[in-house]
Amino acid sequence: MPTRTVLVPSSRVERWFDNFADRHGAAPGVLELSVDAGVLQAAAPDGTRCRARLPLGQSYDGPPEVTAFGKAVAVRLDWGLLLVRKGGFAVAQLSGDSIVASKVGRRHVQGRTKAGGQSQQRFARRRANQAREAYEAAAEHSWVVLGPHLRSLSALVCGGDRDAVRHVLSDPRLSALEELRTDPWLDVHDPKRAVLERAVVDGSSAIIEIHEPESVG
């Protein structure tokens, strides 16, 4: 059964479920809904199912109703966002979908080379040093933005390059952030300001997994 995941902001949750019902053979607002293990589940007449989770690792304990679930998505929590790729990072402290504090930065890291022999080895060492310095800068800014608020943060959403994020969070000062990490993982490229703002929306959205039978689609 093919599975795909979409991120749906609270303001679009009800419309999304209406469209889901329409696409899969149910009248708008008429779906078989249930709540199981903190997740809102929906089953459509054609066999398609979806599982909707609250953002930031929250568990849904409300009734099996789309409206109630949408309101729960909009609950404002304090959380952190960390996006890292080689040479670039973005970090933010948030309350709901509002940015309280943030920093976006870049450090030069050379691209790959086709040179061989000793030249390639020197290049690889230089590139590794540049990447390490970039990760250290990202860790320092993460500490400045998020460190003073660690006790109030409910979750940390990350994205970019997984190895790069792992390097940043290996800073001993940020060990508590590692324990707060939760879905979704955000697949972002160059973490510029606009990318950070989009990630804020995605990180505070409902996480909906859609399971379609092979014959649907």
* Structural domains of the chain, with CATH: 3-75+205-211 (no CATH), 78-202 (3.30.420.60)
Residue with tokens 């960390």: 82
Asked if residue 57 lies in contact with residue 155, where contact means CB atoms within 8 angstroms, the answer is yes
What DSSP letter does each residue of the chain carry, written as one string? Answer: --EEEEEE-GGGHHHHHHHHHHHTT--TT--EEEEETTEEEEE-TTS-EEEEE-STT----S-S-HHHHHHHHT---EEEEEEEETTEEEEEEEETTEEEEEEEEE----------HHHHHHHHHHHHHHHHHHHHHHHHHHHHHHGGGGGG---EEEEE-HHHHHHHHTSGGGHHHHHHEEEEEE--SS--HHHHHHHHHHHTSEEEEEE--TT--
Alpha-carbon 210 to chain mean position = 17
For residue 93 the two structure tokens come to 């402290």
Q: Which residues pair with 91 in a beta bridge?
A: 82, 103
Looking at residue 215, its pLDDT comes to 65
Looking at residue 113, its pLDDT comes to 46
Full pLDDT tens readout for the chain, 217 residues: 578 999 999 999 999 999 999 998 877 667 899 999 999 999 999 999 999 999 999 999 999 999 999 999 999 999 999 999 877 899 999 999 999 999 999 864 545 545 555 556 555 565 556 667 889 999 999 999 999 999 999 999 999 999 999 999 999 999 999 999 999 999 998 899 999 999 999 999 999 999 988 765 5
